[in-house]
Amino acid sequence: MTDLGQSWDNEVVTEYVCETCGRTEQLTQQQAYQAGWDYPPFIGSWGVVSPRTCGSCLIDTTAYWTLITQGAAAVEADERHMATIRRIVTEQPPGSIPYAGPGQAYQLDTRKLSDDG
Ligand SMILES: [Zn+2]
């Protein structure tokens, strides 16, 4: 779905939060990708549960992994995972229109993406 390397907004700096080690960095999407962050748009989608990890941490410590391997109850029992879920459902994609609310799909601002051809 994502056209890697072409549809990223390389100008916008966003805060990346590793759900496993807690590291935060202010990066553009290109910088985050090169540093090995698992984050939308190169992994998963904004507002949808998927890994949110830095380049040093593995998928098997994420809320996403716990959800698919152990189920929702295991996620709900872990406050770190619940904090991650709350952050994911309220995150704002760089260069997008505001998030419409839980359960609503993000709409990328395609006008901005198409500006430079
Ligand atoms: Zn990490």
Question: DSSP 3-state helix, strand, coil percentages of the chain (rounded to 5)?
Answer: 30, 10, 55
Q: Where are the domains of the chain?
A: 14-111
**For residue 38, which phi and psi values (nearest 5 degrees)?**
-90, 105
pLDDT at 24: 94
Q: Are strands 14-17 and 24-27 parallel, antiparallel or unpaired?
A: antiparallel
Report how far ligand 1's centroid is from the alpha carbon of 18 (Å).
Answer: 5
- Tell me the pLDDT tens digit for each residue of 11-24: 778 889 999 999 99
Are residues 89 and 47 in contact, defined by beta-carbon separation less than 8 angstroms?
yes
- State the distance from the centre of ligand 1 to the C-alpha of 93, rounded, in angstroms: 20
Rounded-to-integer distance, Cα 30 and Cα 74, Å: 33
Q: How far is the CA of 56 from the centre of ligand 1 (A)?
A: 5
Q: Give pLDDT tens digits for 19-59.
A: 999 999 999 888 999 999 999 988 898 889 999 999 999 99
Q: Give the model's pLDDT for residue 96.
A: 62
105 Cα: distance to centroid of ligand 1 (angstroms): 27
Distance 1 CA to ligand 1 centre (A): 26
Do residues 14 and 26 touch, judged by C-beta distance below 8 A? yes
